Structure 1
């Protein structure tokens, strides 16, 4: 598809706005959902398990999203139309969920919502790739607007930019100063989701790419790449990727209410955005660092960043600077492990298995690993009787809650260090051809 400069600029703007709204919606309520649940379900038995189960819904949906996309969007309907349907219907579910006061009903509604939302993460990429001429150069510039959307959503919910500049839009409209403990983020996300859904109908077309082709569940889930596990280093990498994603769930589900309790109160969502800012900065540095350090040390540092972050949270909850440092380490933990891991897979897998291998990696990490992690964090929080609704409760329980995943992550890092011995050039030499597009770095920007 060749476009004139003016046409190309218009399309890039429209796709960038698409990506911005896609992640603004998710960032508007997901980061603060734990704080909201602590408020709305206060007094419920097993509140930590309730929070873990609610966050696990997006992992359940993520496991099956490739199947839904492969069955419907890739074969029967234009991606932008499926995108519109998912967001308009999803907005109704999200709005209804904002008025629910029963934990079980809320969890089922979030599961229904994420079954609609998670497939759209692949659909926005499909729309973008179908309408740009040079994906390697143009797509990163489009995708970064998703991260910007997530960051801005955090600022708006917190009604401040890191405590420096106040943006009291929500308070002006609703009169609510502490929005994150209310249903306002859910309602805001629902409203934007409706607007975004209708906007999707105006996007340039993305016809089904595999119309008429036979569908394979195994291929959609990346199970064709299982044969790569016969390679010892790839097997170690895969096992450690799955295992390290278990403690990762602790960060996504509980950091915001922890930070709100021990340091930044109603402004915590703004400070959580530091993690995304760090992610963008380290993303830029990855090519240089990877060339100098190699795959093993990049992956190992990413794992150790998990340990360092949780130790900072657990041992120094009263230090604002060290809590902020723990949040900022998200850029290291995410980029050094997940982005480097995706690049490693792209080098390691034969051309015909690269897409399946990336899907298999996502299945192990964002699917199975984090799914288990969300249930583990709920069980662990209830086991130590963590009271996450008060400052006193978090200060008393921080060490027990955060040191456990820190030790777990450290153990995985040690195993990886001892058994993963692939040299820098081995991955390239393992396949006959290394040309082709860069891997699709689709993931939560959180």
Structure 2
């Protein structure tokens, strides 16, 4: 891979996930905190709808926005530029909203323009790699760096007043501003500004033209034929469950961590412990896939989810242990999601890989959040109670153990039923 191509792809991944990492770790805290504390006061179901349904609709629309346009009509980098510019404007507008209806509507609008960009950046990068299994992890790792940088930069610039180094996670300590929860909406402005800058820089990405010589008018229709492969169908089913508990992690953790003693301004940095682990795991993913195979690696990702939620459920553990356990996120993301993206790229016909990536994105980023948002609301109601002093108390122990069991069941299904078909002739999927 040429150095100039690598630099541009790395910069793309860095900004792609910085835009996301700036706001997602703190969104649930802003949405669910009481109005008296500076939050918006939404209940568990409303937060689930915003972060679940809001994100999923964009992923469901993605095949028609990303796959069809990028595969057939426009160059990928120009589609990215338009979507990210519009998304930045929506984020900036969303920061000043306080009603549930406005948040839900604008969140849906944002997801429609942002979610397709996740699949597009994957497919654009893979289009310029000669050895995806070996080279993609070294490109994707910059997305992790971008997420970490944004998650730390936001509290440093907006939430703290006296920054000091610390030897323990999250490695920085500071004095929180008194209105720290009210200031969390600035994460949306921070994200929106970066998105607009990123949109301009997309025009300088490697040119990735549409494949107009394809034999079928709708690329998505041919990508859907991947369901003829048993391994793809099984992966899609398991992805739905894993994506659901993955989504619940982002809905519940921002409020769970303060309940066990973490400061609100430490939420974003503390949650990046998992991304630091990604930096170690992703560069070795190619070697893991070569030596262990897709089935073992994907199973390991499922087990990592089970282990992390089991630690979260043991709320009697020290806060430092609970925060440090998020290092398992490196295995969660790399071994399940990144490996799944690579697997889909391996079995998809070359001219519909954009749409194939988007198809798996429907389940990971579309169906998963719908199920996750709904399940999160149910779990919040099932395991919550109100004290005599009208204080809401959540039984996080039962909630996290429930999610841990789901991770274990997914691992068992992959271990028993998944068969690697990546070495088969891709033409089988086209017939």
Query: Does the TM-score normalized on the shorter chain lie above 0.5?
Result: yes
Q: Are 2:213 and 1:200 equivalent residues in the alignment? A: no
In the alignment, the residues of structure 2 paired with residue 290 and residue 126 of structure 1 have an alpha-carbon distance, to the nearest angstrom, of 19
Residues 11-90 of structure 1: pairs in structure 2 closer than 5 A? 11-39=5-33, 47-56=43-52, 57-90=54-87
In the alignment, the residues of structure 2 paired with residue 196 and residue 252 of structure 1 have an alpha-carbon distance, to the nearest angstrom, of 24
CA deviation profile, 1:107-158 (whole Å, cap 9, x unmatched): 110110111111222343465566x574646654443222211110111123
Partner-residue secondary structure (3-state), 1:210: coil
Q: 1:139 to 1:197 in 2, by over 3 A?
A: same
2:171 is aligned to 164
In the alignment, the residues of structure 2 paired with residue 90 and residue 350 of structure 1 have an alpha-carbon distance, to the nearest angstrom, of 29
Answer whether contact 1:154 1:273 (CA < 8 A) is retained: yes
Q: 1:200 to 1:369 in 2, by over 3 A?
A: closer
Tell me by how many angstroms 1:48 deviates.
0.9
1:223 is aligned to 224
Q: Are 2:278 and 1:279 equivalent residues in the alignment? A: yes
2:113 aligns with one of 113, 116, 138: 116
In the alignment, the residues of structure 1 paired with residue 24 and residue 111 of structure 2 have an alpha-carbon distance, to the nearest angstrom, of 11
Partner-residue secondary structure (3-state), 2:74: coil
Answer whether contact 1:20 1:149 (CA < 8 A) is retained: yes
Structure 2 unaligned spans of 5+: 157-162
1:188 is aligned to 190
2:399 is aligned to 401
Partner-residue secondary structure (3-state), 1:286: helix
CA deviation profile, 1:358-416 (whole Å, cap 9, x unmatched): 554433333223321121112221233368xxxx856x521132122222333333444
Answer whether contact 1:246 1:371 (CA < 8 A) is retained: yes
Tell me by how many angstroms 1:339 deviates.
3.5
Residues 297-308 of structure 1: pairs in structure 2 closer than 5 A? 297-308=296-307
2:159 is aligned to none
Structure 1 unaligned spans of 5+: 3-7, 435-446
TM-score by length of 2: 0.80
1:260 is aligned to 258
1:245 is aligned to 243
Answer whether contact 1:286 1:336 (CA < 8 A) is retained: yes
1:332 is aligned to 331
Q: 1:335 to 1:17 in 2, by over 3 A?
A: closer
1:146 is aligned to 143
Partner-residue secondary structure (3-state), 2:384: coil
Q: 1:352 to 1:123 in 2, by over 3 A?
A: closer
CA deviation profile, 1:238-295 (whole Å, cap 9, x unmatched): 4333333322221122223322332321212101111112123122333444455444
Partner-residue secondary structure (3-state), 1:209: coil
Partner-residue secondary structure (3-state), 1:249: helix
Q: 1:211 to 1:21 in 2, by over 3 A?
A: farther
Answer whether contact 2:244 2:372 (CA < 8 A) is retained: yes
Aligned residues: 407
1:444 is aligned to none
CA RMSD, Structure 1 to Structure 2 (Å): 3.6
TM-score by length of 1: 0.78
In the alignment, the residues of structure 2 paired with residue 203 and residue 357 of structure 1 have an alpha-carbon distance, to the nearest angstrom, of 21
1:367 is aligned to 366
Tell me by how many angstroms 1:178 deviates.
3.1
